[in-house]
Structure 1
Amino acid sequence: MTSIFDDIKSAFSRGNNSLHQLILINVVVFAVLIILRTIMTLSGSGGLFSYLLTFFVISSDLTLFAYRPWTLFTYFFTHLEFFHILFNLLNLYWFGMLIREYLGDKRLVNLYVLGGLAGGLFYLLTYNTIPYLQLRGDSFMMGASGSVIAVMVAAATLLPNYTFNLILLGPIRIKYIAAVMVLLSISGAVGSNAGGNIAHLGGAILGFFYIRQLQRGSDWGRPVQAVLDFFRGLFQRRSRLKVSYKNPDRPYAATSSAAGPSGGTSAHGTPSQMEIDQILDKISVSGYESLTKEEKQKLFKASQK
C-alpha cells in the first residue's frame, strides 16, 4: 500500500502530467466508492451508501442541486460501474494524448473541466424544460462521459484527418469516430440513459466551440486555469530564497548572456506573443496539420505559461 501511495504522490508532484492525473483521480474515486459500497452493503447499510452518493452525483431536482452545487464538479469524477469507467478512461487517454501533444496539459484540463460543466448544465436545463424528460421524474447522473466527449470532439475538430487503427475496421479518421459518438448520443437522448447522453451532447458542443474559439485567438479555459492556479498557490510553500548580485554594477549581466536568438523568443526559449499570434493565424487558415514540428513545439511551450 505504501508503494501505491508513493506512486500517486509521484504522479501529482511531476509537471506536465495532467492526463495521468485526471485518470488517476477517476480511478481513486472509483476504488474508494466501490470499497465503501461493498462494506456498507455487507453490513446492512446499503441505504446509507445511496444517501452518501447523492453528495457526489448531480441531481435533476433543482431544489436538491441548490443544496449541493458542488456536484456540478464532482459528478464527472464519479463512477460505480467497471465498464463505464473503463471506456471513459480509454477514450480520455487516446484522445487526450492528441490534445496534450498539440495544445499542452493546461488546455487538456480546461477541456475536461469545461466539458463536464457544459454536460451538467445541459442536463439540468433539459430535464427542467423539456416535457418528455420532465415526465420521467427526477434523476441522478454521474460519470466523465461529458468531459471525455468534449476532449474527443475537440481533437476531431483540431485534427479531423488524424487516424486511429481500430480492431477489425483498420484506420479510421477521428472525425468519423467523433461523429458516430455524437449520433449515438442524439439517439440515446430518448433512451434509458437519457441524462448521460444529453451530457454527451453538452460536452460535444463545448469541445467543438472551444477549438473554434482557440483558433480565433480566444481561450475559454483561462478562468479554469485562474481558479486552479489559486488553489495551487494555497498548497505550495512560498520560497524563502533571496536573489542577490555579487556585482552591483552589472545587475543584468546574467540575463544578457542567456538571451535567446533574435526573433522574439525569450531567454528560456518561450515564444513571444507575436510568434504565437502568427501560428494561430496560420492555424485559422490552414489548420493544425499545416504547422511544422518547430511551430507545434512553440505552441506547446506557450500553453505551459
Structure 2
Amino acid sequence: MGIFDEIKMKMLNSGSRVMLFIGINVIIFLLTGILTLFTFLFKLPIDINALVTNYLAVPTYLPTLLYRFWTPFTYMFLHAGFFHILFNMLWLFWMGKILEEFLNAKKLTFVYIAGGLAGAVFYILCYNIFPAFAEAKIGSVAVGASASVTAIMVATATLLPNYTIGLMFIGPVKLKWLVLAFILLDLINVAGPNSGGYISHLGGGIFGFFFIRALQSGNDWSKPYENVFKPKLKLKVVSKNDHVNFRPKNDIPNQEMIDQILDKISQSGYNNLTKREKDILFNASKNHEEKEK
C-alpha cells in the first residue's frame, strides 16, 4: 500500500471525522508551504501568503467581509505557522477522539464547523463593538482552527467534566479544570497582541458549552444537519416466516435501534445508558470497523 493510499484510508475510510479534519488542515498547510517555496525558488512575483490571507482569512472590517462572505468558513482550515497547526491538531486529536466516542462523528463535525463559525462571528462582533478595537478592525484578520478546537474542548469538558486525562509533568487532571484553565488564559490574553485569536477561542468555547447544555436538556442543535446527511436504510426481505428473529448476530442492531440509543445519549448522556445499550453500540462500532478493513 502506497503512502497516498494510507493517507486516504486514515482520512476517509477510518470513519473518524477527527482524522478527516486533521488531514484537511495538514494538506492545506503543506500545499500553501509548497507553493510558497515554489514562488521563492523561481522568483515569481506572487505572494502566496498574502493571497491566502486576503481571500481566505476572516476579516473584521464589514465592507471587506461583505464581498468575502465565505471567509468565516475557510479561515478555520488555515494556519499561520508550524507550531500553530501542531498544537491545534494535537488538541483536536486528544479531545475530538473523546467527543466522537461518546457522541458520534456527525455531532463532532457539527461542533467543529459551527464552533468555528461562532468563533468568527464573536470575533467580528467584538471588533466592531468595543472601542479598543476601533482602529485595529480595519486591517484585522484571523486564521486557524483554534475556535473549532476550543468548541470541541469545551463541549467535551461540559459533557464529561470528571473525565480524567494524564498530562506530562502534572499527572491526572479532570477535563473541567483543564478547560477552565484554558478559558481563563484566553480571557487574560484578550488584552494582548493577539486579541482577535483569543476572542475567537472564546466564541467557539461559548458555542461548545451551550450546545452540550442544550443536548442534555433534549434540544439537539445538530439534528437538521444530521437529517440532511443521514443515509437512507436499504431493507431486504430475507424470509416470510413471522417468527424469524431478524436481529443480526453478535447483537448488532439495525440503524433504527442505533438511532434510538444515540437519541437517548442526546437527552440524558452516555452514562445513563444501560449495559446492554452500551454493548450494542460497542458491537455496532466493532462491526463497522470489520467492514472497513
SS at match of 2:33: helix
Rounded Cα–Cα distance in structure 2 between residues aligned with 1:215 and 1:243: 32
1:24-65: per-residue Cα shift (whole Å, max 9, x none)?
001001101111122224425354541343221111111111
Q: Aligned in 2, Cα 1:226/1:196: closer, same or farther, shift over 3 Å?
A: farther
Q: Partner of 1:257: helix, strand, or coil?
A: coil
The equivalent position to 1:268 in structure 2, one of 254, 257, 260, is: 254
Measured after TM superposition, the shift of residue 8 of structure 1 is 3.3
Asked if the contact 1:102/1:299 (under 8 Å) is kept, the reply is: no
| Change over 3 Å in CA distance of 1:5–1:255 after alignment to 2 | farther
Quote how far apart the aligned CAs of 1:214 are: 0.9
- Call closer, same or farther: CA 1:295–1:133 in 2, change over 3 Å: farther
Partner amino acid, structure 2, of 1:145: S
CA gap of 1:75–1:168, structure 2 versus 1, over 3 A, is: same
Look up the match of 2:160.
159
- Kindly indicate whether the alpha-carbon contact (under 8 Å) linking 1:114 and 1:221 is maintained by their aligned counterparts in 2: no
How far apart are the structure 1 equivalents of 2:35 and 2:98?
A: 35
SS in 2 for 1:168: coil
Q: In structure 1, list runs of 5 or more residues that go unmatched.
A: 234-241, 246-250
2:198: which partner in 1? 197
Query: Do the aligned residues in 2 keep the contact of 1:266 with 1:272 (CA within 8 Å)?
Result: no
How do residues 15-26 of structure 1 correspond to structure 2 at under 5 angstroms? Answer: 16-26=15-25
Check conservation: 1:103, 1:299, Cα contact below 8 A: no
1:129 maps to 2:129: yes
Of residues 166-175 and 59-68 in structure 1, the stretch that sits farther from structure 2 once superposed is 59-68
Distance (Å, rounded) in 1 between the aligned partners of 2:45 and 2:155: 42
Counterpart selection for 1:259 from 232, 236, 246: 246
Identity among equivalent positions (%) equals: 39
Counterpart CA distance in 1 for 2:140 and 2:89 is 24
Measured at CA, do residues 267 and 205 of structure 1 come closer, stay the same or move farther in structure 2, by a change above 3 Å? closer
The alpha-carbon deviation at position 151 of structure 1 amounts to 0.4
Q: 2:119 maps to what in 1?
A: 119
Q: Hey, what's the Cα distance between the residues in 2 that align with 1:115 and 1:291?
A: 27
Query: Kindly tell me: are residues 292 and 98 of structure 1, through their superposed partners in 2, closer, same or farther at Cα, counting changes over 3 Å?
Result: farther
Shift of residue 291, structure 1, vs aligned partner: 4.2
- Tell me the residue number matched to 2:94: 94
Q: Once superposed, what is the RMSD of the aligned Cα atoms? A: 3.2
Query: Aligned residues, how many?
Result: 280
* Residue in structure 2 matched with residue 50 of structure 1 by the alignment: 50
Q: Which residue of 2 aligns with 1:10?
A: 9
What is the letter of the counterpart of residue 260 of structure 1? R
Secondary structure (helix, strand or coil) at the match of 1:164 reads: strand
TM alignment of 1:1-305, pairs within 5 A: 3-14=2-13, 16-42=15-41, 43-47=43-47, 49-137=49-137, 138-226=139-227, 229=229, 253=240, 257-260=244-247, 268=254, 270-271=256-257, 282-283=268-269, 288-296=270-278
Checking the alignment, whether the CA contact within 8 Å between 1:215 and 1:280 is kept in structure 2 is yes
For the residue of structure 1 that corresponds to 2:129, the secondary structure is: coil
In 2 relative to 1, CA 102–244 (structure 1 residues): closer, same or farther, beyond 3 Å? closer
Tell me if the contact between 1:276 and 1:298 (Cα under 8 Å) persists in the aligned partners.
Answer: no
Offset at residue 19 of structure 1 (A): 1.1
- Matched with 1:238 is none
Alpha-carbon distance, 1:272 to partner: 7.0
Find the aligned partners of 1:152 and 1:102 in 2 and give their Cα distance.
13
Q: 1:262-301 CA distances to partner (integer Å, 9 max, x unpaired)? A: xxx9962742776666555544xxxx44545544455786
Partner amino acid for 1:147?
S
**For 2:273 and 2:36, how far apart are their aligned partners in 1?**
50
Scaled by the length of structure 2, the TM-score of the pair is 0.83
User: 1:99 is paired with a residue of what secondary structure?
Assistant: helix
